Structure 1
């Protein structure tokens, strides 16, 4: 190629061709960046490609065309205060390589299918895939119905009519409530920092993030019963309502042991001075396997089994359905923090039933008992519990 036929805008620096070219689509009017190649022909191809990309992006912005990645980031801003924000972000990270670059108009069943196929091939259950598809559908609906440009133009003219969900028939993983022996074996296989929160979960029925995020500020003393409870704020529960966590004798001892070793993070369960992020770590998965628990792909292996274990034991102990729902924090029209001491006593009595294996034995784990400490001032609702 003769010099006069060479594309202008390239300069050789240190053996590598760099772009230095005027460009109306660039801020400042210049495109300056390296091509990463010492070949003039390859550098010209890079330059042509970059100019085309910049032109397309400029036209897209002028026409108010948004990519799924841009919409997903906007959605994360909207849900940042929700307890599910981390899970939503995880799903978006997983789907972005497949559809993140696509304009919203091009996100539909056909373009989402490669993501679905990839997730199924790596063994992800239908429910988890459906949750991700639900996030996609929500983002598209908001883009069409809620989000607007400065000119008042919707981000998306119309959301797709449907994003097909996977059928759960024959695919739903079954919960696996633990027997007492299986519980003991699992606890022996877990690292020490997971033993207390796991045993707390199985005795309270708390969800994983309710355990990990349990804060000392939520503890409320109930002097009439010689115990305390935790009131989880609505921002921290799945049902988006306040939840009262009643402590049976095992859960109380765990709390007291944690109180003796209380750190500065403000959380009941800590690891290396910080809040626990999750219970289902690689250590949990190894412990599940070493404990000889089921490896069937149709059986749940996660921490949610602890909640099922609590519920199953409450039912086996003869606790009524209504009381089980209250203890497990199921959605209800009642404001569950408004209880008298007598009503709390009934809940405490019901929770205590699952500490008895049938022979008055406690789980084979020694927990250090500590001196109960009173908590500070609380809200009016919490003061009512002390009456």
Structure 2
């Protein structure tokens, strides 16, 4: 970008102008000026605003600048959502980042919403970014202040969230579907999926499971059970540690994995002609939702299945076996004010017994899966099945 005659005003590649200057220790930044004179006028007015701080004048602050402060403050407290927040804010900054905070409202945010809808993103995803913008505006109106004591924004705008009418319903699977899926997966994914269907863990926790998190506890006479204590850094929200109690099926999978890798519980290996399995180095698995998973569920006839639906399946099966709601919450790590991080042997035994009740098909014959029917109706209406993909997904 070429520097123009006025210090702090630059020409963009598309011919527009942006202001990026410092005045009395304050950064002045704004994009999207179609004329040089407009940029110059804005810069002059901003400088006048700084000069009038003592007379209670606010400096115009852009969404770009405010977002930068938000990210910086989140980084200082090592927020678990920081990486996701940055990813969600980037498209908004690209489209409406040059707006000053007092210019933000439903109408001025609409170009960003339209841009994301054209990318065929779910409204829940778009709402996440809108929520971040609302949070930034609230901080600017309540907490962030200039040297003269004035807040960055006089009053936070009311930005309406989208109606999430495109929300995908849960899609738990039947025992028959489970058998078909497992038959179509490679061994390492089959073990991970079956483990997930017997513990209800999130995908990232299954993939990150480590041997040094394991404890062996006798929950019943002559029945040592693996209990994994998950560090809170690996728990969504990072509020506290959580536990994973293995039922008989999960335990058998753990034992089959033992000794394959020094740290990771779940691994994969790529055999080559003439080489034996034990001679190859096992590598940790980063995702369940990779190419092998997507091809496998397609061959099994459940192309619309997401990995997170395995967790929904556990919840459904626990309810069918009449497991208490509080025990369900503990197993699925649902937030509950009555829960604590101290577990007695009796409680671990209760969790084990509940999970053992879903280890194999019960007496109830699953002849109807309402969620699956709803999902199939949606597929017929849309005419296309979508699977969440990863840019770095690996063939397995």
TM range (shorter): 0.5 to 0.7
The CA deviation at 1:199 is 2.7
Distance 1:216 1:194 in 2: 18
Match in the other structure for 1:177: 172
| 8 Å Cα contact 1:189/1:291 also seen in 2 | yes
The CA deviation at 1:190 is 4.4
Match in the other structure for 1:99: 96
The CA deviation at 1:354 is 1.3
TM-score by length of 1: 0.68
SS of residue in 2 equivalent to 1:260: coil
Structure 2 unaligned spans of 5+: 16-33, 51-57, 270-281, 364-396
Match in the other structure for 2:244: 245
Distance 2:8 2:313 in 1: 61
Match in the other structure for 1:186: 181
Match in the other structure for 1:340: 344
SS of residue in 2 equivalent to 1:230: strand
SS of residue in 1 equivalent to 2:298: helix
2:195 corresponds to which of 186, 190, 200 = 200
Match in the other structure for 1:381: none
Name the CA shift for 1:285/1:75 in 2 (closer, same or farther; >3 Å): farther
Deviations along 1:77-132, one digit per CA (max 9) or x if unpaired, are 33343333333233223333222232222222112222223333443333232222
| 8 Å Cα contact 1:126/1:167 also seen in 2 | yes
Q: How does 1:127-142 map to 2 (within 5 A)?
A: 127-142=124-139
Distance 2:349 2:3 in 1: 77
The CA deviation at 1:192 is 5.3
| 8 Å Cα contact 2:260/2:267 also seen in 1 | no
Deviations along 1:274-293, one digit per CA (max 9) or x if unpaired, are 87555444554444333321
SS of residue in 2 equivalent to 1:76: helix
Deviations along 1:225-277, one digit per CA (max 9) or x if unpaired, are 512212234444336343222111222233334442225xx554467988755
CA-based RMSD: 3.7
Q: How does 1:209-248 map to 2 (within 5 A)?
A: 209-223=204-218, 225-238=223-236, 240-248=239-247
Name the CA shift for 1:159/1:35 in 2 (closer, same or farther; >3 Å): closer
| 8 Å Cα contact 2:230/2:241 also seen in 1 | yes
Distance 1:124 1:356 in 2: 37
Distance 1:307 1:319 in 2: 15
TM-score by length of 2: 0.67
| 8 Å Cα contact 1:83/1:237 also seen in 2 | no
Distance 1:203 1:93 in 2: 38
**Count of paired positions:** 318
1:325 corresponds to which of 324, 329, 332 = 329
Deviations along 1:300-358, one digit per CA (max 9) or x if unpaired, are x4322111101111222332223222211121234444222233122111111211124
